[in-house]
């Protein structure tokens, strides 16, 4: 596998990050993940726009133009011969003597990109549906920034792994904020799609936005509002979305069966529409 590091394409073993990198010392950086399908980047412009916003929110200058990012990603995908999977991009505030405050402005950000082969469209879990558990959302208050400080999500995902399920839904004041690495949706008994409105309490999911567009085009009823864990238990259908999971049906929450215990018709339709959109990217 070939990794991109600060202007060079290198074999993994030769790509080294200095100990004084602020990403390592402080988790002082942000990341982005785009899916690759049929060798092409999915909804990539939106991911790069969010990357630019995340950088802006924490005062790291974007080291590349949109065109440069696309060129680097495309070259990385080609060098790795990746047909289906993910491109991971990370930018940190660079390398400098350890001090909490920002280093001088001439310290260059660190840029890393690598690919991961993964069945994003032909994912067998999408056929049977995923199970999730709920955990308390113990994260900081700027979850709209795609920060590499992911310890709360690491613990949430580990709780899911220990429960033998695929994802953890994080809960704050009784309402679901989002998944540990995904956006949470439910479909109510009257067939309304419900997901939490955007705020600093959750990441503005790129797949979320695409699904809401597809839902509007299909004349589905959509409500962007908070929903409780109890409402999720009682939902007709549930699913989560992300660049890597696309639209993933949820069939069980905290051991309680959702709807008929199978991926629901609305969820299946949205997944099919999303895959179609992704292939046309």
Write out the residues near ligand PLP by the rule CB under 6 A: 33, 178, 181-183, 203, 205-208, 241-243
CB 127 → ligand PLP: shortest distance, Å? 21
CB 154 → ligand PLP: shortest distance, Å? 11
Q: Which residue, 214 or 243, is less far from ligand PLP as judged by CB?
A: 243
Q: Would you call 114 helix, strand, or coil by DSSP?
A: strand
Q: Where are the alpha helices (DSSP H) in the chain?
A: 22-26, 44-57, 66-79, 125-128, 151-162, 206-217, 229-233, 265-279
Q: Which residue is nearest to ligand PLP (CB)?
A: 207
Per the DSSP assignment, residues forming a β-bridge with 242 are 246
CB 156 → ligand PLP: shortest distance, Å? 9
C-alpha 193: how far from chain center: 20
Q: Would you call 193 helix, strand, or coil by DSSP?
A: strand
Residues 6+ apart with CB under 8 A from 29: 22, 23, 60, 90, 91, 92, 93, 109, 110, 147, 148
CB 46 → ligand PLP: shortest distance, Å? 8
Q: By the 8 A CB rule, do 160 and 180 touch?
A: yes
Residues 6+ apart with CB under 8 A from 93: 22, 23, 26, 28, 29, 58, 60, 102, 103, 107, 109, 110
Q: Which residue, 92 or 242, is less far from ligand PLP as judged by CB?
A: 242
Q: Which residue, 99 or 276, is less far from ligand PLP as judged by CB?
A: 276
Q: By the 8 A CB rule, do 264 and 236 touch?
A: yes
Q: Which residue, 60 or 203, is less far from ligand PLP as judged by CB?
A: 203
Count of residues in the chain: 281
Count CA atoms within 13 Å of residue 53 on its CB side. 15
Q: Which residue, 22 or 208, is less far from ligand PLP as judged by CB?
A: 208
CB 261 → ligand PLP: shortest distance, Å? 25
CB 33 → ligand PLP: shortest distance, Å? 6
Q: Which residue, 21 or 32, is less far from ligand PLP as judged by CB?
A: 32
Residues marked as catalytic: 146
Q: Where are the alpha helices (DSSP H) in 19-113?
A: 22-26, 44-57, 66-79
Token representation of residue 195: 């997901």
């Amino acid at each position: 596998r070939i990794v991109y590091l600060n202007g060079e394409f290198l074999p993994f073993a030769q790509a080294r990050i200095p100990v004084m990198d602020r990403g390592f010392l402080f988790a002082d950086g942000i990341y982005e993940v785009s899916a690759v399908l049929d060798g092409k980047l999915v909804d990539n412009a939106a991911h790069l726009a969010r990357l630019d916003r995340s950088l802006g929110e924490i005062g790291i200058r974007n080291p590349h133009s949109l065109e440069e990012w696309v060129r680097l990603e495309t070259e990385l995908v080609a060098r790795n011969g990746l047909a289906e999977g993910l491109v991971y991009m990370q930018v940190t505030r660079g390398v400098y003597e350890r001090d909490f405050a920002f280093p001088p402005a001439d310290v260059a950000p660190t840029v890393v990109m690598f690919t991961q082969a993964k069945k994003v469209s032909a994912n067998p879990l999408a056929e049977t549906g995923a199970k999730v558990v709920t955990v308390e959302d113990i994260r900081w208050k700027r979850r709209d920034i795609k920060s590499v400080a992911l310890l709360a999500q690491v613990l949430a995902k580990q709780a899911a792994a220990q429960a033998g399920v695929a994802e953890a839904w994080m809960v704050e004041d009784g309402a679901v904020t989002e998944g540990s690495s995904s956006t949470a949706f439910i479909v109510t008994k009257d067939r309304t799609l419900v997901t939490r409105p955007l705020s600093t309490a959750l990441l503005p999911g790129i797949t979320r936005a695409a699904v809401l567009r597809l839902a509007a085009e299909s004349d589905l009823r959509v409500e962007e509002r908070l929903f409780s864990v109890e409402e999720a238990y009682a939902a007709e259908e549930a699913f989560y979305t992300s660049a890597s999971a696309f639209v993933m049906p949820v069939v069980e929450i905290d051991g309680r069966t959702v709807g008929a215990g199978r991926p629901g018709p609305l969820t299946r339709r949205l997944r099919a529409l999303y895959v179609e959109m992704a292939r046309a990217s």
